[in-house]
Structures are given as C-alpha cells and as structure tokens.
Amino acid sequence: MNLNPSRGDLIRSQNYVSGRWLDAHDGATFEVCNPADLSRITAVPDSGARDAEAAIEAAQAAFAGWRATPAKARGQLLKRWHALILANQEDLGRLVSLEQGKPLAEGQGEVLYAASYVEWFAEEASRIEGDLIAPAVPGRRMMTVREPVGVVAVITPWNFPAAMIARKIAPALAAGCTLVAKPAEDTPLTSLALIRLAEEAGVPAGVINIVCASREQTPALVDVWLADARVRKISFTGSTPVGKHLARASADTLKKLSLELGGNAPFIVFDDADLDAAVDGLMVSKFRNGGQTCVCPNRIYVQDKVFDSFADKLVARVAALQVGPATDPKAQIGPMINARAVEKILHHIDDAVARGGRVLTGGQRVHPELGPNYVAPTVLADAGQDALLCHEETFGPVAPLFRFRSEEDVIRQANDTPFGLAGYFYSENVSRIWRVADALETGIVGINEGAVASEAAPFGGVKESGYGREGSKYGLDDYMHIKYLCQGNL
Ligand code: NAD
C-alpha cells in the first residue's frame, strides 16, 4: 500500500511566510524519513535566524488586520479550514502515518481529532465576551474586554503531528492572534499540508507562518523568537527540559506561556474494579500510538488480590498485538519514531530487569528485517520502585505492573513524581472514586476510562507537566488577556 497523498500539492517542501512558499534564506535543507524503513520522503528547509526574523515580521504586520477582523469572520475561516481538513482526511491520515509511523486507522483518527479542535474554536470565536462590573463608587462604569495577546510562537512535537498543531493554531486564530510555528523535525509534513489547506481556506498572508528546522538548527531559530519582544506568547508541547528552557528564556520579555510537557501517568486497578474493563482501558490508553503519548500510563499499580488475574488477562491481549508498518493493514503497533526513542525504551526495560523485574511478554526489538525501529509490546512485573521507568517517561509500548496493598500506599506512590499530567484508576466503589479522584495530583483523571481526550475538555497538567489548558471553553484564555476599562464622571 502506498502512503503518499493522492493530492501531490499536499507534500510541501518549503516554509510558508507572509503568504508565500519559500526556501530557507541560505537554501539549507534536511531530510524527512519514514520511521518504518528509514526511506527518504523529501527534504524541507533547515531554517535559521533570518527565516525566524522574517516570520515574526510577517506575523506582526498581519496582526492589526487580523485582530480587527470580526470574531465571526475569523470563526468562518476556521470553519472553511475544518471542512477542507475533513475533505482531505484520507490524504492527511496517510501523511501522518508516512512520516510518524502510526497505523493507518490511527492516522485517519488523528486527523478527525485535529479537525474537532478547529471546529470547536471556530464556534468559540463567537463567544469571546467581557463583563460589566458593578461599580465600587458612584459615577463610574467599569467593564472588561478580552484582547488577543499578539504574535504567538507555536512549537510542536512529533507524536501527533496533526492534532498538536491544530489545537494551537485554531484557538490562536479564533482569539485574533497571528503566529509563527515550528513543527517537530521528525514530522514537519503533516503541519505543512495543514497550512496548505489553511491557505486554500483563505487565511490572509502573514496570519500563519511556519518554518522548519532540524534538531541541530532549532535552538538558533527559536532563540530569535524567545529574544524578540514582539512575540508575546509561546505555546509549546514537548519534553519538560525544553519547556523549562523556554520558560527561562522568556523571562526577559515576560511572554505568556502555555506548556504541555511530559507525563508519568499512574494507572491504578483496585481489587473492586471490573478487571475486563480495566484491561480494555489500559490497552487503549497504553498502546495507542505505540505508547508514544504524553497521557499514556507509565506505571500500572494493581492491588495484590487481583494482580495475577489482571496480569494474565493483560498479557494475553498484549502478546496478540500485531507489530508492523502502517502499510500493513493488520498492524496495531507501528515503528517507534527514531533510534533515540528505541534506545531509551530498551534501556528502561533492561534497567527494570536489573532491578528485579520479570518480562511477562515482549522485551526486545522485533522485525529487524523491516527496519531498526520496531519494539515488541511488553509487559513487565515486579520491578523495584527505583526503576527508571518509574521516574522517567518511557514513551513506548511498555506496561510495567507494580503490586500494592492499600489505597493509602498507592496514592502515595502515584503522586511520588514531579509530573502531573494524567492519572487513571478503576474501581466500582463510589466513595473510593471520589476520594481517589480528589487525591491524584494530575490535571486529568480517567475514572473507569482510558481514552480521556476531547476537544470539549481542558487538556493540560500540573507540577512539572506544565501549565495552560488546550481545548474546552478555557482554551481561548491562554491566547487572550483581560483589559479593564473604567469610565468616570458619569
Ligand atoms: P522535545 O521537547 O524534544 O521536542 C518538542 C519540540 O521542541 C520539537 O519541535 C523540537 O524541535 C523542539 N525543541 C527541541 N529542542 C529545542 C530547544 N532547545 N529550543 C526550542 N525548541 C526545541 O520533545 P519530543 O521528543 O518531540 O516529544 C516527546 C516529549 O513531548 C515527551 O516528553 C512527551 O511527554 C511530550 N509531549 C507532551 C504532550 C502534552 O500534551 N503534554 C504531548 C505530546 C508530547
């Protein structure tokens, strides 16, 4: 099966700045490869400081006009973009699978998920409102209005190349902001294709600008945005170390920040849980996208009494998962994104085994004849709490099981991490449900549910998983500020 989009113009190999498709200023490029077999797909610009600067100039020049465009018209543009994404769902889904490796059904699903944010914020644009405040003293009128913050810099990861950028661009445009964007170096093509469709939807020149860069060149490019006071906000999804760097480097110009960072999600199975439902929930939340999702469970705590039966049921399901390239219609787990990711996953497995862990299924690379990036879906049991995979995100198809005795113990273990993005638990006891939901230190809690993300719900973390929320009625707040107007002498 061929993964190339049927519409040839959806494979772009240039930046988009000020309404024009352009090479990097110095003509440099880097290659984009298919993680399934490392074959070359195309090359895109390896942009530098001059390109970063040009993108800011364009976004700043377009800001006044876009901000003055009525919110309803901004929403209508987003609706046209939404319709075009849906009309090209199959091509975009192929592109996601081509450059990211996920099974085709997941690539198609991600496109719908991305589109759902565009539709949501198309509608939210019409609901930007202020307040009339009861005056504290006579003769005054006091009110608030909400204004777009200005030029936004958008930086995205590779694991959801359509959804991550869509859920930043859509609220930014709805709010009246213009933007400069840099997609992940492993997966720039889906983002460029989405921008091509935004161009087709009629987005005015300069409102969206996107520049690509290799991993080596990225700091030089992003440093220009960090230092420039015209960039008023950074919206970043990616790892915690890079998020902290962006926060530090934004301090001099005091930019607003939204940081969707790493997670280390606990998944707790109490002995009063419906075990089959818990296994179903874990399969969805852990193995979607090959375990390369920031909300996926990293530590699975199972209560003593049900540990063995839960492990048996889980191993049967995981051992049956089919690993293969997106071109194989039976594949449920694709290749990992790159060699760095594979090394980290194998290192976490070896470390867990060295600390007393047992491999119940998987535990090694598979299909070397296809390429070097395939890892067997793995279940581990009884590694010590000092294992690396208890403390760092594995970001792969590895489910480590830990036993626990009491609710009190497991809550302590679950919260014993600097991260706080998602947490999950399964229980049929209503009082326990409220207690545990209150006690988990995470921004998102799945209660008897493994698939929690929705455009209608706020997505984001606490602690070192970052701050800010994407989606939902709160999603526009990060792209706007509140201005207070006070009229006297009435
Ligand atoms: P990453 O932080 O290495 O890269 C993310 C983006 O930051 C990429 O575009 C990359 O080019 C850019 N970047 C890298 N170094 C930079 C620098 N010095 N200055 C500016 N930008 C820089 O992360 P990744 O490997 O692409 O993605 C995996 C990580 O992202 C995981 O830790 C995962 O948990 C996290 N993630 C979080 C969410 C979320 O919503 N919370 C979603 C997806 C991924």
137 and 155: one domain? Answer: yes
Tell whether the model's pLDDT for residue 24 goes beyond 90: yes
Mean pLDDT on 473-477: 97
289 and 144: one domain? Answer: no
Pocket test for ligand 1, best of 155, 189, 452 (most atoms within 8 A of CB): 155
The tens digit of pLDDT for each residue in 296-307 reads 999 999 999 999
Q: Would 490 be classed as within a structural domain?
A: no
248 and 271: one domain? Answer: no
Tell whether the model's pLDDT for residue 374 goes beyond 80: yes
239 and 274: one domain? Answer: no
The tens digit of pLDDT for each residue in 425-442 reads 999 999 999 999 999 999
Q: Is 237 in the pocket of ligand 1 (CB under 6 A)?
A: yes
Domain count of the chain? 2
Q: Is 282 in the pocket of ligand 1 (CB under 6 A)?
A: no
Tell me the DSSP string of 89-109. HHHHHHHHHHHH---HHHHHH
The tens digit of pLDDT for each residue in 102-140 reads 999 999 999 999 999 999 999 999 999 999 999 989 999
Q: Provide the pLDDT for residue 1.
A: 73
Q: Would 179 be classed as within a structural domain?
A: yes
Distance (angstroms) between ligand 1 centre and the Cα of 235 equals: 11
Domain coverage including residue 80: 8-261+465-484
152 and 44: one domain? Answer: yes
231 and 120: one domain? Answer: yes
Mean pLDDT on 174-198: 98
88 and 103: one domain? Answer: yes
Distance (angstroms) between ligand 1 centre and the Cα of 308 equals: 37
435 and 319: one domain? Answer: yes
Ligand 1 atom with minimal separation from the 466 CA:
41
Q: Would 125 be classed as within a structural domain?
A: yes
Q: Is 100 in the pocket of ligand 1 (CB under 6 A)?
A: no
15 and 140: one domain? Answer: yes
254 and 325: one domain? Answer: no
Ligand 1 atom with minimal separation from the 241 CA:
2
274 and 244: one domain? Answer: no
Q: Would 271 be classed as within a structural domain?
A: yes
The interface predicted TM-score (ipTM) is 0.93
Which CATH number belongs to the domain containing residue 246 in this structure? 3.40.605.10
Distance of alpha carbon 15 from alpha carbon 11, whole angstroms: 12
Protein residue with least CA distance to atom 26, ligand 1: 157
What residues are annotated to the active site? Answer: 260
| pLDDT classification of 92: cutoffs 50, 70, 90 | very high
The tens digit of pLDDT for each residue in 311-369 reads 999 999 999 999 999 999 999 999 999 999 999 999 999 999 999 999 999 999 999 99
CB 230 within 8 A of CB 63: no
Q: Is 88 in the pocket of ligand 1 (CB under 6 A)?
A: no
Q: Would 456 be classed as within a structural domain?
A: no
Q: Would 92 be classed as within a structural domain?
A: yes
Q: Is 157 in the pocket of ligand 1 (CB under 6 A)?
A: yes
Q: Which two tokens stand for residue 251?
A: 């301090």
Q: Provide the pLDDT for residue 376.
A: 98
Q: Provide the pLDDT for residue 2.
A: 82
Half-sphere exposure of 270 (CA within 13 A, CB side): 22
What percentage of the chain reaches a pLDDT higher than 90?
Answer: 99
CB 276 within 8 A of CB 435: no
CB 265 within 8 A of CB 427: no
Q: Would 489 be classed as within a structural domain?
A: no
**What is the model's pTM?**
0.97
Which CATH number belongs to the domain containing residue 340 in this structure? 3.40.309.10
Q: What is the mean pLDDT of the chain?
A: 97
Burial class of residue 405 in the structure, from the number of CB atoms within 10 Å of its CB (0-12 exposed, 13-18 middle, 19+ buried): exposed
Q: Would 27 be classed as within a structural domain?
A: yes
| pLDDT classification of 96: cutoffs 50, 70, 90 | very high
334 and 207: one domain? Answer: no
